[in-house]
Every structure is written in structure tokens, then in C-alpha cells.
A and B are shown apart, each in its own frame.
Chain A
Amino acid sequence: MSNPYQPIPAIILKTVDETPNIRTFSLKPEQEIPFRAGQFVELTVPGSGEAPFTPSSSHFKRDTFEMTIMKVGRATGALFDLKPGDIVGARGPFGTPYPLERFVGKDIYVVGGGVGLAPLRALFLALTHEPAKYGRIFLRYGARTPSDIVYKHLLPEWQRMPKVDIDLSVDVSDEKWTKKVGVVTCLMDEVPCDEKTSIAVVCGPPIMMKFVNQRLLDAGFPGENIYLSMETNMSCGVGQCRHCRLGPYLTCKDGPVLTWSQIRGIKDPFV
């Protein structure tokens, strides 16, 4: 019987500093981790703990994968001390991926905040890998300041892709900033796709998710078409330990992406 708690070694191939406290790690695990966009991997920082992260790279490339991680606690703090060539542990993939079969032929309205763009990048790359299958992709992304924007070097390239429309905002601008200033909902005054049939996908800090979700509902998106990345404390990652329970769901198994229809009955889902 296999052991779901046992991590496998993964070597850090490369790191890229996205912002002062967000870094992308490129990892090569000893065995392939066959994730799909939206699933997560439990990452072990030897001696400092384990935490779940969603790969941010394309699921069409599987021998290596990337994770974009913000330094917030003990495990991530220790992770930032590691260098290319160092070994971490990985186990997964776990959780339920984005149901891409439901997205076929539809416009996709993606709203991200801060480091929340990381899992959305995996989705974006999966969608743009097969552009004929899906409709247009609208990406609305907000960060605190221009220097807090992740994937700065990739965004111009994404913007040039066919059927892709990107708009950005920052809460606090600097002298070089030419786009909108305000929280990400300031990019949502006009929804450029049919709200009744399009798919909305949201990932960001809880307070941002709360307001973006409300704005999407007000715009007329049906709850079953709003996909939200729910952040809860996870330990085992495999539906056993119960830490991540959110109402009737275990976010490690049923999520981490849940639709608003699924969670609407839960008191204060965004904490």
C-alpha cells in the first residue's frame, strides 16, 4: 500500500524573484507529479514544515513544475533561504482540478489579486495551450503597488496572445504607472463578456475574493459559474485530517476551487 504522507525528493532548478516577498521556484521531482490546473502539491521544506501550494506552470509540462510562493510564515521563510540545487519534498497532486470540460466554448473572466495570480497562471496556460477550445480570456489583476505585481516579465507576452485581454490595477501607484489605480474591482465596472454564459475564476486574498464575488453576482454571473480558490488550513492534503473542513466540504479533496453555488450556504466563507 502506498503511503500518502511520504514526500518524494524534488530539486530546486531555478528561482525567480517576482516581488520583494514573492518568488517562483522551478522544481524537478524524482518522479513526475501529474497535476492538472487547480490541484495542489504539499511542499516539504526539510526541518521547517510542510504547506500546500498550487503549481503555477502549465500542466502540459510535467517533468518539472513551478510554484510561486509568498514568504509569510515558518515554512515559506525557510524555503526562501534555499538555493538552486537544494532538495525539498513534494507529494501530490491533490484536490480537484478546474473542470476545464465545463469551460469549453465559453469566455473566461479571470480575476486575480496579489500572489493569487499563481494558480490562475496554471489555468491561463492550460487555456491558451488550446486556444481553439475556449472563448476569449479576460484577465483582471490587481496588486498593492507596481512592484508587487507578479509575472511582470510575462504579462506583455500574454497580452499579445490572440483572444486574450488583460487589464491591471494597483492600490497605490508610482510615477511610472499608467493604468488604473484602485482595488481590483475598479477593473470590473464593465464586464466585457456575457455574464449569463461566461465562466468567472477568482483567486486572491479572502477580502478581495469576497468583494469580487459580490461584484460578479451583481453583474449577473450565476453562482455555479463562479470558481473561487478557498484558502483553509490543510495538513494531510488527502481528506483525512479534517483541518480544512469548510462547511460540508474538505477543501483538500473537494477544492481548493469551489463554486459560489457550493459555498453560498456557509456562514462567513471568506475569512
Chain B
Amino acid sequence: MDRYLLSKTNINQWLAKLLESHAVYVPFESEKQVHWHRLGITDLEPGTDNVTPAQRRIRASEPVKSFMFQPRQQVGSFPEPLPVTEPAPRILLGIKNCDLIPLKVHDKMLGEGEYKDPFYTARRQSTILVAADCPAPEQSCFCNLLGLAPFAQEGADAVLSVVDGDWLLEVEASGEELIEAAPDLFFKAEDRGPEVRRRDDERKEAVAALERINPKPWKTDLPGAIAARLGDEAFWRKHAETCVECFGCLMGCPTCYCFILYDQAREKGLDRTRAWDACYEAAYARVGGGANPRAEFIKRFANRFDCKWNQFKRDYGMYACSGCGRCLKACMGKIDIRKVLGEL
């Protein structure tokens, strides 16, 4: 890993250079929310800095998984097969840890093992991931309850920290081309230099802020606690009471990876699409003959907790949750999963 400093006066110049070879996406503020935005050259007028402010905010509204595991993606056609095309190279600049960790979930489900999703894999491989520190956690954030930090821990090609408006970049070998695009703009940062110390102090403050937001840890054996509760309908009923089954919590989730394949007829043949699905959907587990093991919503509600915080942990050694807080912000019924999991 190499450390570089990029002066605030050179940020736009560097980004303009990257735009020559890549599509670059960054978080942008819009009406107090943060959204992913495809950077254009007009965003980079000399003397302005449109990119840095949102880098210091929490994650964007849209989960980063959408770039690789798209909400809808054609994955087949019939009778002639669908070719897998190589997408144009992209850079996502400003990924928070709560969006970076979930990519590991998708890698496990779609990118590893006997059967790989070639469309996901192509998008994943053509994307450079630049993480950014998360210095100002909000009330909806709870990565600390999952043992995660408000800065990238693994999986990024480079990590950005904003220090007094300048950019400190820690670059892995896989991200070298970011620097090579305009090497003259960067200085090597000292390992124990003032910028790194400032960055480390700010990270510590963010961790402390998260502990103030979520002071009480969950049970150590969360999977075991969920397994023991599965049959306790009264418990799930109490917490599901205000759910209106809008699926907002699932559609916004950066880790939810369920999908359904569906076919659309063409004049001769069909197109096959892979679309995000939601386990709260009544027909989700219904079989052809009509039987449905989770016909009652309460079973589907408990199943979500069983899947994300029990089975996935047992199967893959990690929770299918990163504490991003989108589910509770999306919830019309004001269901806070921190409370559900805290009361197990």
C-alpha cells in the first residue's frame, strides 16, 4: 500500500484526467440527501470543489451493489444465447464501509463457487473501488453494532480521507492506475506524518460518535439468539406490527441479494431477466402446486432476520448486514431493526 497526498487545488485536475479513461461516479449532495452522480467535466470548473463535501457525509441513498448487481439485468435469451459483454471501465469514488462490506456478500453469492454470474463478475472486474472515511455518522448508523468501522477495512482498491480539504489516498497495487493517470499531481505522504495523524484522530472520533449513538451491544451469539426465537410468534408479531409490507427495507439494503429470473416473450423466443426480489413478498416461497411454507407475513418477517443475522453468518462467517441504516430510514412503520435485534 502506498500513501499519497493530493492538494485541494489539484483535485479537479486529477478527476478530469480520470474522466478521459473511465466513467467516474461520486456522491453528490442534493436537497440534503446524498446520491451517486456520474461526474462530468462541467462539475470540475477551476476554483470550485463540488466533490469533497459529500465525501464527508454518510453513504448515499442508493446502495453501491446496484452498480454491479443491477436491479434488473438481462441474463439470457432464447433460442439464441445472450453474449456477455465487457462493460466500460468505471471508478466509484467515495464508497463508505457499509457499502463496501456488502460487496463481499455479493462476491460470495454471485462471484464465487461452482456457478458464477458472468454479468456481475464483468461489472465487478471493470470497476475500481475507492472507499472514503465516514467522519460524521448519523442517528441511523449502526455499523459498530456489527463490529465494523466507519472507514474501509478491506476490499477497496484505494481509500480516501479528507484532511483539511486536501485528499489523503492510500492506494493498493490494484488501484495504482489511479495515480498513474496523473502522477505529477501527487506527493508521497509520510507514514507518521501530520495528515495521517489527523486522519487517525478523526477516525477515532467517528468510532466514539457511533458508540454514543449505539451504546448497547447486541448479544454475542446473535445467530443462536435468533434460532432460539424462531418459533416465538409473539415476539415477531410485536415487532412486525406496523409493517405495511412495502419492501423498502429490502430494496434499499446494500446486502440483500435475493433475485428472481423471469422471462418475457419476444416474437420468436424470449429474454430472461434477473431482477431483485424481496423475501417479504407473499409468493416468494410458494411452489408450483400452491403450497406456501411462509404464507403468513409473520413467518416472512422472522425469516428475514433468520437469513441475514443467523444463516448467512453460519454459512459464510459474516452477517448479511453492514449497519448502513437504510432499512430503518426507509421504514414507513418506523421499525428499527436495532431494537428488534437488541430485544432478542
Interface residues of A (CB under 8 A from B): 1-9, 44, 46-51, 70, 72-73, 75-76, 87, 89, 205-206, 231-233, 235-236, 238-243, 245, 247-248, 267-268, 271
Q: Which A residue sits closest to B264, measured CB to CB?
A: A47
Cα-based distance from A163 to B26 in the complex (angstroms): 71
Q: Mark B264-296, 1 if CB is under 8 A from A, else 0.
A: 010001101010010100001111111111000
Cα-based distance from A225 to B269 in the complex (angstroms): 44
- CB-CB < 8 A to A240: which residues of B? 109-110, 115, 117, 257, 259
User: For the complex, is B169 an interface residue (Cβ under 8 Å from A)?
Assistant: no
Task: Judge whether B259 and A233 touch: CB under 8 Å.
Answer: no
Task: Judge whether B109 and A49 touch: CB under 8 Å.
Answer: no
Given contacts A241-B261, A243-B284, list 11 more A-B pairs with CB under 8 A: A1-B116, A4-B116, A5-B117, A46-B79, A46-B265, A205-B289, A235-B277, A241-B277, A248-B311, A248-B314, A248-B315
Task: Judge whether B279 and A242 touch: CB under 8 Å.
Answer: yes
A29 to chain B, nearest CB (A): 12
Task: Judge whether A243 and B285 touch: CB under 8 Å.
Answer: yes
Q: Which A residue sits closest to B269, measured CB to CB?
A: A46
Interface size on B, residues (CB 8 A): 47
Cα-based distance from A245 to B285 in the complex (angstroms): 9
Q: Which A residue sits closest to B75, measured CB to CB?
A: A5
User: For the complex, is B67 an interface residue (Cβ under 8 Å from A)?
Assistant: no
Q: In the complex where A44-B263, A46-B78, A268-B293 touch, is A242 in contact with B118 (Cβ < 8 A)?
A: no
Q: Which B residue sits closest to A73, measured CB to CB?
A: B288
Task: Judge whether B118 and A235 touch: CB under 8 Å.
Answer: no
User: For the complex, is B182 an interface residue (Cβ under 8 Å from A)?
Assistant: no
Interface residues of B (CB under 8 A from A): 75-79, 81-82, 84, 109-110, 113-118, 121, 230-231, 257-263, 265, 269-270, 272, 274, 277, 279, 284-293, 307, 311, 314-315
Task: Judge whether A72 and B288 touch: CB under 8 Å.
Answer: yes
Q: Return 15 A-B CB contacts under 8 Å, by A number.
A: A1-B84, A3-B82, A7-B272, A47-B265, A48-B263, A48-B265, A49-B263, A205-B289, A206-B291, A232-B287, A233-B285, A241-B277, A242-B279, A267-B230, A267-B231
Cα-based distance from A241 to B260 in the complex (angstroms): 7
A233 to chain B, nearest CB (A): 5
Task: Judge whether A7 and B285 touch: CB under 8 Å.
Answer: no
Cα-based distance from A8 to B269 in the complex (angstroms): 12
Cα-based distance from A44 to B77 in the complex (angstroms): 11
- CB-CB < 8 A to B292: which residues of A? 271
Cα-based distance from A266 to B98 in the complex (angstroms): 32
Cα-based distance from A206 to B290 in the complex (angstroms): 12
Q: Which A residue sits closest to B83, measured CB to CB?
A: A3
- CB-CB < 8 A to B115: which residues of A? 4, 238-240
- CB-CB < 8 A to A6: which residues of B? 75-77, 81-82, 272
Task: Judge whether B110 and A243 touch: CB under 8 Å.
Answer: no
- CB-CB < 8 A to A268: which residues of B? 293
